[in-house]
Amino acid sequence: MTTGASEASSLLPTNVATAFSTETMEPPPQSPSRFSFAKIAGFCLLAAGAVGVGYSAWLLDVKENTESSLAGTPIESSEAHTIVELEGKSHGKSKEKNQLSTCEDGMYSKRTLKMAYELPFHSLFKDTKGQKKFEASSVTVKDGFAYAICDSSWSISKFGDELQPFGEKNVQIGDPSREEEDSGYEALFIDNDIFYVVRESIQSTDKTYHAIIEELSLGEEAYEVVEQCPAEFEFEGDSKGFEGAIAVHDLNGTLTVLGLCEGNYCSESKKDDKGHGMVVAMQKGVSDDGSCEWKTVTTISIPKTAFFADYSAMTMDKKGKVAISSQEESQLWVGKLLGQNDAGLWDILNIAFDPDHKDKLFDFPKNDQCATVYCNIEGVHWIGDDMILAVSDKMKSKGKQDFRCFDKDQSVHVFVLP
């Protein structure tokens, strides 16, 4: 019994271990059957009292540390919970002394989008055509239906924007395995009933990297590829190409694609230099031999108020109000594009973001610990003056993202701006 007490006491706080020390625990003088019940009861009360003292002291210490943390003072205990810096993860507490976190400064509701409703892609379709993942990358809306693409699939998801689970009209259009490789679809827009999908950046035969824009004619269950044309704009590799795109028409009515680069400077090597986002304006040209190419007309700098490490999606309403999302920052920037006339046509060579506009920056909602949970927003589309439809990519595996990113990935969301 002495040996057991020593082992138990080593696992207890000092004040509790003292109460269980071998000096205070004498063996019973008689057999267990004749051992006094009163002694057993007294021993239990003594142990409970010692544990209570230790627990009370610990609880008081936790209370003081919590109050200190909420006041902006870091917890000094070496056993305080630490969080490893991961992509798609923000911290609830500020590292700077006496500085409140973004969730504690009293302005959270003023700058945070309100989630209206959402649903995982898996819950939309009765027939997923064998797909087990939905790495959503872009979304648009036409005639009361939303259309979304995934960079891992060649099919197009069609569903009602009310997000009815397993709705009869929610379908997958096209063969998800149209080709052996992943689609690389990253942007989707519609112009004159033609669906345009942008493959982010594909290596050509001359070893250079260019986006490819496909024109699709959609049916009820399948689609036809009308034309495939590469973009003239060259990227450094296959991972930081066009991540979003919208359609406008120039003063002559010519279709012009505004392609959003994922990386700063449209670059992989300079992608970490925040605040240098770019949009590339392109128009399709056809050569004498019938080959086509989306020629670069001009580039448009995104204001530094969109101080992002990446640019994951873009949408614009009929009045030129633009929203751009960032996956890594879990934020949405809203600005205004200039250059549109009263007829809705655009002066492409003079198109620019309004420097006098009061740009706004919104956070996607945090969890109750002020941690980022919307880590993979890759598609956005206006569905009202103050409402955004969004889609999320699959969470990155192998520890590249925090586990809290899992709950919201591969989903469709509707947010309301404050």
User: Is residue 230 within 8 Å of residue 200, measured between CB atoms?
Assistant: no
- The span from the CA of 396 to the CA of 376, in Å, is 9
**Where in the sequence is the domain holding 32, given as residue range(s)?**
2-70
Question: Dihedral (C-alpha) 113, 119, 125, 128: value to the nearest 10 degrees?
Answer: 90
Strands of 145-150's sheet, edge to edge? 136-142, 145-150, 156-160, 171-173
Is the predicted pLDDT of residue 202 greater than 60, yes or no?
yes
Over residues 254-263, mean pLDDT: 98
Q: What tens digit of pLDDT does each residue of 69-115 get? A: 333 333 233 333 222 333 444 434 444 444 568 899 999 999 999 99
Which letter does DSSP use for residue 339 in this model? Answer: -
Report yes or no on 102 lying in a domain.
no
Over residues 153-171, mean pLDDT: 96
User: Is residue 242 within 8 Å of residue 259, measured between CB atoms?
Assistant: yes
Over residues 21-44, mean pLDDT: 44
Give the closest residue to 125 by CA, choosing from 152, 158, 148. 158
- Return the SS3 of 391: strand
Report yes or no on 191 lying in a domain.
yes
- The span from the CA of 362 to the CA of 120, in Å, is 23
Last residue of some domain: 47, 70, 93? 70
Q: Are residues 66 and 113 in the same domain?
A: no
Residue 40's pLDDT band (boundaries 50, 70, 90)? very low
Report yes or no on 78 lying in a domain.
no
- The span from the CA of 95 to the CA of 101, in Å, is 9
- The span from the CA of 283 to the CA of 382, in Å, is 24
Neighbours of 324 (CB within 10 A): 25
Report yes or no on 101 lying in a domain.
no
Residue 361's pLDDT band (boundaries 50, 70, 90)? very high
- The span from the CA of 78 to the CA of 263, in Å, is 38
- The span from the CA of 418 to the CA of 278, in Å, is 27
CA dihedral over 402, 406, 408, 411, signed as positive or negative: positive
User: Is residue 300 within 8 Å of residue 353, measured between CB atoms?
Assistant: yes
Q: Are residues 24 and 138 in the same domain?
A: no
Q: Which is more confidently placed, 32 or 343?
A: 343
Q: Are residues 26 and 121 in the same domain?
A: no
Q: Are residues 351 and 234 in the same domain?
A: yes
Distance of CA 160 to the CA centre of its chain: 22
DSSP lists the bridge partners of residue 112 as 363
User: Is residue 206 within 8 Å of residue 244, measured between CB atoms?
Assistant: no
Q: What is the pTM of this model?
A: 0.77
- The span from the CA of 244 to the CA of 322, in Å, is 12
Q: Are residues 275 and 409 in the same domain?
A: yes
- The span from the CA of 210 to the CA of 131, in Å, is 28
Q: Are residues 10 and 129 in the same domain?
A: no
Residue for token pair 């070893």: 207
- With a CB cutoff of 8 Å and minimum separation 6, the contacts of 125 are 157, 159, 166, 170, 171, 172
Q: What is the largest CA-CA distance in the chain?
A: 110
User: What percent of the chain lies above the pLDDT cut of 70?
Assistant: 76
Number of domains the chain is built from: 2
Report yes or no on 338 lying in a domain.
yes
Q: Are residues 66 and 112 in the same domain?
A: no
Last residue of some domain: 15, 40, 70? 70
Q: Are residues 136 and 207 in the same domain?
A: yes
pLDDT of 101: 82
pLDDT of 399: 83
Q: Are residues 27 and 148 in the same domain?
A: no
Last residue of some domain: 52, 70, 88? 70
Give the closest residue to 154 by CA, choosing from 203, 209, 195, 206. 195
| 3-state DSSP percent of the chain in helix, strand and coil, to 5 | 15, 35, 45
- The span from the CA of 148 to the CA of 54, in Å, is 57
Give the closest residue to 235 by CA, choosing from 180, 176, 278, 192. 278
Over residues 235-244, mean pLDDT: 94
Report yes or no on 190 lying in a domain.
yes
280: domain CATH number is: 2.120.10
Report yes or no on 82 lying in a domain.
no
- Token pair of 331 as six digits: 């934020």
DSSP string, 219-282: -SS-EEEEEEEEEEEEESSSSSSEEEEEEEEBTT--EEEEEEESSGGG-STTTTS-S--EEEEE
Q: Are residues 127 and 62 in the same domain?
A: no
Neighbours of 243 (CB within 10 A): 28
Is the predicted pLDDT of residue 246 greater than 70, yes or no?
yes
Report yes or no on 36 lying in a domain.
yes
Q: Are residues 112 and 171 in the same domain?
A: yes
User: Is residue 172 within 8 Å of residue 125, measured between CB atoms?
Assistant: yes
Q: Are residues 239 and 293 in the same domain?
A: yes
pLDDT of 100: 66
Residue 234's pLDDT band (boundaries 50, 70, 90)? very high
Residue 205: is it exposed, middle or buried by C-beta count within 10 angstroms (0-12/13-18/19+)?
Answer: exposed
